[in-house]
Amino acid sequence: MNDILEVDNKKNKNQELYAPKEEIKDNKNQLRKKNRIIKSLSIATGVLALSTLGFGIGFAISESNSMKYQNNLESVYNSNFYSMLDSVNNLENKISKILSSTSSSYQRKTLLEASKNASEAEIAVSSLPLSQNDIQETIKLVNQVSGYTSTLAENLTQGGELSSQDLNSLNEIDQSLLQLKQQLNDFARKLNQGVSILNSSFDIDNNSNEFTKMLALSNNDNIEYPTMIYDGPFSDSVVNSTIKGLKGNKVSKTEAMKNVEKCFKNTTDIVFESETKGKFETYNFRVKNTQNETLFVQVTMIEGHILTISGAGANGINTVNEEQAKQIALDFTKINGIENGEVVWMDSIGSDVYMNIAPVQNNIVLYPDLIKVKIDMTSGTVVGYDATAYFTNHVERTLSKGNLSLSGAKDKASKDYQIDNTRYVLTPLDYNREVVCVEVKATKDDNTYYFYYNVQDGSLENVLKVIKTDNGNLLM
Amino acid sequence: MKNKLLLFISLLFVCCFTITGLGLTYNTSNNKIENEIVSTEAATTTAENRTIQTKLKRWGYYKGAIDGIYGSQTRQAVRYFQSKNGLSVDGIVGPKTAAALGMTLSSSQSSQSSGDLDLLAKIVYAEARGEPYSGQVAIAAVVLNRVESPSFPNTIAGVIYQPYAFTAVSDGQINLTPNSTAYKAAQDALNGWDPTYGCLYYYNPATATSSWIWSRQTVVTIGNHTFAI
């Protein structure tokens, strides 16, 4: 039996040994293929593993950084929110204290503190991720309260007292602040419960987000906002000021264009572009000047005066000096009907020179009616003109030089100053007030100052200092 | 051979993935780095750069535009000027080079910086660089009108960086370096020019999606922007 098996094995071995060459080749190829597939799979797996690892590491670092930025931003927003909360809480407390007090000195001190709190609240609320469209009423309230309380405090300093109308306004303000305070405190509780400002401020869809809705005053229909009529910044009366200098008839587009042609005699490239329908109503033209620069020229629909010209001007080597530029500017204002102008300030920046020209009436310089002109000194052409202040304020005025002489005003200035010049001026004071003063230009320690003495009582109305900046001189 | 190719492609694949992953990390801080580079380059102010360029052009050292930008051409011209005047050649206008140019740098005077002008020029360039000049002045004027308005923050920085106020701030375009036209437009607006006469808003009618903005009273259209109150 064993012999038979042995013979069979030998046969098989012989069969293998003597199998056809092709079959052996096929077997070898199949084996190689298998090896290759295994190798490829191993490499692919390795590659995938390494790629995932690399991507994972990169993503993890990125996420970690992103989280860091988010946390930092959330902290800044939290800080601003709590600052606003504190400021509004303090502001409301102070307004209610003023309402309950009868002492002028206490009211004055507390009004000044309230003004500071309102100002701080404005800075904080403006730094929060709120939809600007819906938060405007909130910002307006704190801004106006800041201006109003400061004006009332100033009034008390000058010996006045709070009128019943003032007290009514303060009471209305207090009601608005109470509502805002409640909304802020509600949100502070939510923050304590883990709500994130960043998450609440996402999805600024339709100009609002969740966070804004919680802080916006405009959502409360039951609150009546006080209209604050006072002589201070952001007063409703100042914001809604009117144009005094244009009282004539409406001109046609063709007449307006003729006035543009009068100013730009050497060009025929004047094209009507559009109309402005705002505080001023104007016809707008595009004018190509002799330097091939396109200027935007606006002409008033009432009376047809050139109101503004906007042009960049060129950069390069100047062909006119400042004195020549001055004459070009004065000639240009004359063409536009302002005969008695005087250059009261000029400053050159690069190749442009900016000038303020004020009309003079009875030797009194009318500062409220300033006209601004920009001359391109490379070509000696007018590339900028702005008469909005002139047409907003210019009226026939009866002006008196009062009792103060120029030498009298000179004597009022400190002896430490060197007096350079004196003249009568009509000066605009804060918020639509005008006063005739003597302007005394004086220098001390290389600093230039302008003092303004009221001609009626000799009081010092204002002091301006020339501040050198990187881009010209400022009067502040 | 094929195996080697496969291995090479695989390694390339790994590298690409890793770079992409790490790129995400880098990208988040990329803007910050660019800004730092820009700010360190601005050793002199735009106005001073214009003066330097004008002087160098007049004396034949500089052939570029008087644009107030201290670029490679200006730097090269300064180096040329320094080499001809026995100064140390570094391409930077320091006190000695400034003295040789006949000018005093503002940093050595009791002068204050005009951050407001820079900020205004940045927002003008970011929001309206393709617009006509009057349209650029109008953008700067809107910012200044907002400063005056009780319904907005009371500083130029406050208005520009008020969250969600300008898309150019959200998408980082505010950090681009403004050109000389943007500076001129900002300067005009600071000097009182306002072709919109008090507008507080503007939008591009072709792209604006907000229904709220369409409800505002329009005043004037300049270029692609409609200005409203």
Q: What is the pLDDT of residues A365-386, one digit of tens each?
A: 999 899 999 999 999 999 999 9
Is there a domain that residue A169 lies in?
yes
Is B228 in contact with B199 (CB distance < 8 Å)?
yes
Candidates A55, A126, A372; nearest CB to B153:
A126
What are the b/e assignments for A296-311, b being 16+ CB within 10 Å?
bbbbbbbbbbbbbbbb
Work out the average pLDDT over A121-142: 86
Closest-CA distance of chain B to residue A396, Å:
24
How big, in percent rounded to 5, are the helix, strand and coil portions of chain A?
50, 25, 30
Closest-CA distance of chain B to residue A360, Å:
21
Helices (H), A101-131: 104-126
Does residue B214 carry a pLDDT above 90? no
B218 touches chain A (CB under 8 A): yes
Residues A207, A120, single domain; the answer is yes
Residues A219, A165, single domain; the answer is yes
Domain-terminating residue out of A10, A29, A60: A60
Least CA distance to A371: which residue of chain B? Answer: B192
Residues A225, A264, single domain; the answer is no
What type of residue is A168? N
Domain-terminating residue out of A216, A239, A262: A239
Closest-CA distance of chain B to residue A312, Å:
6
What distance in Å separates the CA atoms of residue A305 and residue A390, rounded to the nearest whole number? 11
Residue B223: exposed, middle, or buried by beta-carbon count in 10 A (0-12, 13-18, 19+)? middle
CA atoms within 13 A on the CB side of A237: 11
Lowest mean pLDDT among A84-98, B101-115, B156-170, B192-206: B101-115
Mark which residues 386-445 of A lie under 8 Å from B by CB.
386, 388-389
Q: Do B192 and A349 touch (CB under 8 A)?
A: no
pLDDT confidence band for A223 (50 / 70 / 90): very low
C-alpha angle B133-B138-B144 in degrees, rounded to nearest 5: 135
B83 touches chain A (CB under 8 A): no
C-alpha angle A431-A433-A439 in degrees, rounded to nearest 5: 115
Q: Do A58 and B24 touch (CB under 8 A)?
A: yes
Candidates A69, A128, A276; nearest CB to B163:
A128
Is there a domain that residue A248 lies in?
no
Q: Do A276 and B220 touch (CB under 8 A)?
A: yes
How big, in percent rounded to 5, are the helix, strand and coil portions of chain B?
60, 5, 35
C-alpha A167 chain-centroid distance:
33
Is there a domain that residue A245 lies in?
no
What are the b/e assignments for B147-161, b being 16+ CB within 10 Å?
bebbbbbbebebbbb
**Mean of pLDDT over chain A:** 84
pLDDT confidence band for B9 (50 / 70 / 90): low
Q: How many contacts, defined by CB atoms under 8 Å, are there between A and B?
A: 219
- DSSP reduced 3-state for A308: strand
Residues A232, A115, single domain; the answer is yes
Closest-CA distance of chain A to residue B20, Å:
7
Residues A203, A122, single domain; the answer is yes
Is B178 in contact with B122 (CB distance < 8 Å)?
yes
Please name the helix (run of DSSP H) or strand (run of DSSP E) that holds residue A441, with its range, or none. Answer: strand A433-444
How far are the Cα atoms of A95, A172, B223 from residue A236, in angstroms, in the given order? 20, 16, 32
Residues A199, A273, single domain; the answer is no
What distance in Å separates the CA atoms of residue A115 and residue A230, rounded to the nearest whole number? 14
Q: Do A468 and B112 touch (CB under 8 A)?
A: yes
What distance in Å separates the CA atoms of residue B119 and residue B114, rounded to the nearest whole number? 9
Residue count (chain A): 476
A313 touches chain B (CB under 8 A): yes
What are the b/e assignments for B21-33, b being 16+ CB within 10 Å?
bbebbeebeeeee
Q: Which domains does chain B have, with CATH numbers?
A: 46-108 (1.10.101.10), 115-228 (1.10.10.2520)
Candidates B14, B24, B184; nearest CB to A62:
B24
Q: Do A278 and B164 touch (CB under 8 A)?
A: no
Is A341 in contact with A330 (CB distance < 8 Å)?
yes
Residues A360, A422, single domain; the answer is no
Total number of domains constituting chain A: 4
A218 touches chain B (CB under 8 A): no
CA-CA-CA-CA dihedral for B55, B60, B63, B66, to nearest 10: 10
Q: Do B188 and A384 touch (CB under 8 A)?
A: yes
Residues A112, A223, single domain; the answer is yes
- DSSP reduced 3-state for A34: helix
In chain B, which residues have their Cβ closer than 8 Å to the Cβ of A201?
163
What type of residue is A32? R
CA atoms within 13 A on the CB side of B155: 13
Is there a domain that residue A120 lies in?
yes
Domain range for A164: 75-239
Residues A127, A161, single domain; the answer is yes
pLDDT at position A303, please? 94
A432 phi-psi bin (left φ>0, alpha ψ -120 to 50, beta other): left
Is there a domain that residue A401 lies in?
no
In chain A, which residues have their Cβ closer than 8 Å to the Cβ of B213?
207
A296 touches chain B (CB under 8 A): yes
pLDDT at position B29, please? 39
Q: Do A62 and B66 touch (CB under 8 A)?
A: no
A23-65 per-position pLDDT tens digit: 777 888 888 888 888 888 888 888 899 888 888 888 888 888 8
Closest-CA distance of chain A to residue B76, Å:
19
Is there a domain that residue A400 lies in?
no
ipTM reported for the complex surpasses 0.85: no
Mark which residues 454-473 of A lie under 8 Å from B by CB.
467-472
A280 touches chain B (CB under 8 A): yes
Residues A82, A210, single domain; the answer is yes
Does residue A270 carry a pLDDT above 70? yes
What distance in Å separates the CA atoms of residue A356 and residue A385, rounded to the nearest whole number? 10
Mark which residues 177-216 of B lie under 8 Å from A by CB.
180-181, 184-185, 187-188, 191-199, 210-213
Is there a domain that residue A115 lies in?
yes
Candidates A47, A65, A388; nearest CB to B13:
A47
**Greater confidence, A403 or A330?**
A330
Does residue B112 carry a pLDDT above 60? no
Closest CA to B176 of B28, B31, B30: B31
Closest-CA distance of chain A to residue B177, Å:
18
Closest-CA distance of chain A to residue B64, Å:
10
A322-337 per-position pLDDT tens digit: 899 999 999 999 999 8
Is B46 in contact with B183 (CB distance < 8 Å)?
yes
Backbone angles phi, psi at B36, to 5 degrees: -65, -40
What distance in Å separates the CA atoms of residue A68 and residue A66, rounded to the nearest whole number? 5
Is there a domain that residue A421 lies in?
yes
Residues A138, A229, single domain; the answer is yes
Domain-terminating residue out of A239, A274, A297: A239
Is A454 in contact with A461 (CB distance < 8 Å)?
yes
pLDDT at position A297, please? 95
pLDDT at position A15, please? 54
pLDDT at position A72, please? 86
According to DSSP, the β-strands at A352-361 and A364-366 are: antiparallel
A65 touches chain B (CB under 8 A): yes
In chain A, which residues have their Cβ closer than 8 Å to the Cβ of B180?
315
Residues A89, A53, single domain; the answer is no
